[in-house]
Amino acid sequence: MSIVQVQSLHKRYGAQTVLDGVSLDVAAGEVVAIIGRSGSGKSTLLRCINGLETIDGGSITVAGHVVSRAPKVLRALRQDVGMVFQSFNLFPHLTARENVALPQTVVLGRGKAEAQAAAQALLERVGLAPRAEAYPSALSGGQQQRVAIARALGLEPKVLLCDEITSALDPEMVGEVLEVVQDLAARSMTMLLVTHEMSFARRAASRVVFMHAGRVHEEGTPAEIFERPRTPELVQFVRAISIRD
């Protein structure tokens, strides 16, 4: 049973078509990496799934919610869909634990003590319990991103969307975040990961989706996508990233 269903999705910015009839189903517990050149529509797709962008055609259903910009729908969607961004977006004046606890009090209505206890448990889950009292400025990029993941998990989402969560990190910090993602995958968390890190996609994903010109151009297992590409566009993309690596 699909927990995410995208059907014939269209999105335009003025005269520019960004998503041109995208259809994608994601099963519960699946980890899907979305790859492709800049401008292929990857991040826009995630933002549409999370209700951050209006759509111009088609439909999106996530965890039983038909996505729209209606406030009631968005409130329900925020409780079932978490999102982690490239830029961490932590509050600099709050500690790691306070950053993780805040959405729980605002969105879920938990009391402060309950939210703080849950935040501490989540920081332990991402390997940061000893840094609970640290402010973002005292944390490395990899640690800040792990706090951001813990914050998203605090709302107990059914689906986690990750938009280029390793691209702002030094190479040695990518492994920290990958370890957390792999742990979530082992716990059957449904995830959609937009990434330019092909080694990250190979290791973290159960399925890889290659987007080209605003469409799902090819999809398959990591081995099928990276070792046996079928279309000229994916062959060229894989060859380019292989030269770059």
**Token pair 């799902």 in the structure block, residue:** 216
Amino acid at residue number 41: G
Number of residues that make up the chain: 245
Provide block-wise average pLDDT over 10 residues at a time, the chain (245 residues): 95 95 96 94 95 95 93 89 90 97 91 96 94 96 93 93 87 84 90 89 92 96 94 91 58
- What is the dihedral sign for C-alpha 230, 39, 67, 4? positive
Tokens read off for 155 = 């709302």
Alpha-carbon distance of 43 to 232, in angstroms, equals 23
Q: Which amino acid is at 1?
A: M
Q: What is the pLDDT of residue 8?
A: 98
| Type of residue found at 87 | S
CA angle 110/72/60 to nearest 5° reads 110
- Distance, CA of 245 to CA of 239 (rounded, Å): 10
Domain spans, the chain:
2-244
| CATH code linked to domain 2-244 | 3.40.50.300
Distance separating alpha carbons of residues 109 and 115, to the nearest angstrom: 9
Which of 47, 58, 80 shows the shortest CA–CA distance to 6? 58
Rounded Cα–Cα distance for residues 2 and 172 (Å): 35
What would the two tokens of residue 148 be?
């951001």
CA contacts within 13 A on the Cβ side of 138? 11
Residues 3 and 159: beta-carbon distance below 8 Å: yes
**Distances from the Cα of 219 to the Cαs of 98, 208, 235, in angstroms?**
39, 6, 13
Quote the tokens at residue 244. Answer: 């770059």
pLDDT at 242: 65
